């Protein structure tokens, strides 16, 4: 039976096309990529043996510029059946691939913000990234792991140049066990953000997407539901909702 184990990248971007590599099993003869978001999809041209490789296939996925950021799902149709749903994000931050050896501050991967890093974490290991912040700059960080179906139980730590912890995040309400930070830097300089599993578990299947940039941190809308055929005003709560006005629907 056909299956999807992961995708690369873990997100597709609005306002353009993304070559999405779908990895799994029994993918020979794939005929269609279904998405729960509105998109144009086709087997990516110019990829050797695309559609004939049992282990992976590559799709060109094109989204409108106004596609909403969030977590969605995909599935692939093959002659032998359709795969189960695989969660994926729509993300307006540029995707970066994790460096292979960024497991210490000395080997931290340099990031130019805003950015979103796709990677995995090994057992008893961690991943570190360094970035520059200006005085009084506010930056949001979040990990998408549990929300994308990863077994990783993420923890975020923000460190200064000397390795002193400035802030940390474990489980954030509303994020299904994922982590998020919103921090204002009082001193300009270089800093680190660390991602690891809360219980030091890991492996090739423990994937994550680290997002870093200037974005609101919303955990929940209110009310949680509205009656069809009526008008409602939706407000938002979270650690950073400045400038986010209620929406009338």
pLDDT, tens digit, for every residue of 91-135? 999 999 999 899 999 999 999 999 999 999 999 999 999 999 999
Radius of gyration of the chain (CA): 19
Does residue 219 register a pLDDT over 90?
no
Structure tokens that stand for 201 in this block = 């578990």
The reported pTM is: 0.92
Q: Residue 243: what pLDDT?
A: 81
Half-sphere exposure in the Cβ direction for 121 (13 Å, CA): 31
- Nearest Cα neighbor of 153 from 202, 204, 206, 197 is 197
Interacting residues of 153 by C-beta distance below 8 A, sequence separation 6+: 145, 146, 177, 197, 198, 199, 201
For residue 25, the tally of other CB atoms under 10 A from its CB is 14
pLDDT digits (tens, 9 = 90+) for 16-58: 999 999 999 999 999 999 999 999 999 999 999 999 999 999 9
Q: Which residues pair with 240 in a beta bridge?
A: 217
Q: Is the pLDDT of residue 238 over 90?
A: no
Strand, coil or helix: what is 48? Answer: coil
pLDDT over 90 at 200, yes or no? yes
Predicted confidence (pLDDT) per residue in 145-186, tens digit: 999 999 999 999 999 999 999 999 999 988 999 999 999 999
């Amino acid at each position: 039976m056909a299956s999807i184990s992961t995708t690369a990248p873990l997100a597709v971007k609005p306002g353009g096309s993304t070559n999405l590599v779908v990895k799994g099993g029994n993918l020979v003869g794939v005929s269609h990529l279904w998405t729960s978001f509105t998109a144009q999809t086709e087997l990516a041209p110019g990829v050797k043996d695309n559609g004939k490789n049992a282990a992976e296939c590559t799709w060109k996925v094109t989204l409108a510029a106004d596609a909403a950021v969030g977590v969605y799902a995909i599935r692939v149709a093959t002659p032998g059946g359709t795969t189960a749903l695989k969660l994926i994000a729509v993300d307006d931050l540029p995707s970066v691939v994790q460096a292979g050896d960024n497991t210490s501050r000395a080997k931290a991967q340099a990031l130019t913000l805003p950015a979103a890093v796709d990677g995995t974490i090994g057992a008893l290991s961690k991943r570190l990234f360094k970035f520059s912040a200006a005085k009084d700059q506010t930056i949001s960080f979040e990990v998408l792991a549990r929300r994308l179906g990863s077994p990783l139980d993420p923890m975020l730590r923000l460190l200064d140049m000397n390795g002193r912890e400035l802030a940390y995040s474990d489980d954030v309400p509303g994020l299904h066990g994922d982590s998020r930070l919103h921090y204002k830097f009082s001193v300009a300089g270089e800093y680190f953000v660390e991602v690891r599993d809360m219980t030091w578990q890991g492996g090739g299947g423990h994937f994550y997407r680290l997002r870093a940039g200037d974005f609101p941190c919303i955990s929940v809308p209110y009310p949680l539901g509205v009656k069809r055929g009526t008008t409602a005003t939706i407000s938002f709560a979270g650690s950073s909702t400045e400038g986010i006005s209620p929406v009338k629907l």
